[in-house]
Structure 1
Amino acid sequence: MENQQHQGRNGAAAAAPTAENRFSVLNCIDLSSPDTQSSVSLLKQACLDCGFFYVVNHGISQEFMAEVFAQSKKFFELPAKEKMKVLRNEKHRGYTPELDELLDPENQVHGDYKEGYYIGVEVPEDDPEAEKPFYGPNVWPSSEVLPGWRETMEKFHQQALEVARAVARIIALALDLEADFFDKPEMLGHPIAVMRLLHYGGQVSDPSKGLYGAGAHSDYGLITLLATDDVYGLQICKNKDAQPQVWEYVAPMQGAFVVNLGDMLERWSNCIFK
């Protein structure tokens, strides 16, 4: 499961949508709605159709979301020397520089025009659980350099995980399972929940030259919650087997998460959900 917080441009096309660009219409799930059956129906249709939908009224305040984005910006504005002090380790925690990740090797001439920061579930180094892959202590910038940064990100990580659990309960119902299926200890009771802060610079993606903010990919986990700023850039392809592939912009929606299903849930649903 992954939670991503994006700033700047993303995706596989030009920096700003034009009249010729296609826009995707996605279902919107209101987590505060008392009409559970309607939410299940909307989500199920989205999962059968393309695996993308919006989630609104999720309980994280707009003010706190703005604070998370502001704190994220502060980190990425640090000098490169300072950011390299918290370079990603073998547990996939910490900073990833621009061009560090290559998501679509077949079509990219080099890595993504993005930099990022991985944060996972905090597990002390002396805890036996820390021996597992993706478990262990996080890497944090100095509190002298970024006071309050760690506290903000830990709080957001916890709140976003609760949103993910709420979404998972609706997914369970859409799969004709008990609502608490994913709450079990072996499922999301102790999840590998990764939060990534992502920053895209001013470079414009140019697919004809193999240059991308983030190359085409599918996520590998259960679900991803994606919080974006107001810059267009995220694109989705509803049918990866189509020739040619059709890429559509997803409009930013203030206060919403864009949710997309990962490979694991597609496999678990016997490829019924996309």
Structure 2
Amino acid sequence: MTRPERPIAADWLALRRTADTVARDGAPELVAAWVAAADGGDPLIIVDVGAGTGANRAYLERRLPRPGRWVLLDHDAELLAASAGENVERVVGGLGELGDLIRSCDARLVTCSALLDLLTTAELDELAEVLVAHRVPALFSLTVDGTLQLDPPHPADSALIAAFNEHQARDGRPGSGAAGYLADRCEHLGLRVRKADTPWLLDAGAAPLIRRLLTERAQAAVEARSELANPAADWLRARLRLLDEGALRVRVGHVDLLITPGNPAGGACRNHGGTGSRQARPTG
């Protein structure tokens, strides 16, 4: 996987966890269908791509019909080290390791959360090809869709939102178009795709998350369009003042994808021996 220019911070992952949970609870049918598409045998093995501190696993494992065995894949060893849980293996590596992990474990399910918009077009193509080759059901959650709605509105909203989306769609990334790109690619390859909107709906109760979100989005917008430096500063001051007054509401658009083959593969894990961590092989 492409390493972010700014490493994903563990405190940001913790800050967004409640909003993620509420958003995903709005699409329980995708989780149910994802699990139903898995082979019925034991153990139930899941590969979590870009697993970070394990929030995706923590959300999903409570919704599994039986205990699962998790393989957490991420390029950031420090984030993986912060993940907890039983029946967990941590693998330091990137997307190039996913096919080997599925094969060696006979994994029945693949998942990721808040990852697709960080991947390049080439990496999304690679991901689609892995799903076709290994015929494993995938649940990809909380990909930003490029929409940000703030109430009350501000004259600079549109320009800053557009600049942020430009910042995300650079260096070969489709950014907020990632979910749509992957869905189209998978459908072209003969896979079945279901989509669900899973927006964050935030108010004063999520003030720390909103403050961090708006501050970092303003910074990214200015990086994309330097002429927005002064308007962005004014916009951020006005937005944070409303937030402090408890008068700001925010909707951040996300989409979840369920991608399934005709015949999911099954089997038992062969080469992964229980909880631990290993360094992935270099890709080449």
Q: Same fold (TM over 0.5)?
A: no
Structure with bigger RCO (C-alpha 8 Å, 6+ apart): 1
Q: By percentage of residues, which structure has more helix?
A: 2
Q: By percentage of residues, which structure has more strand?
A: 2
TM interval, short-chain normalised: under 0.3
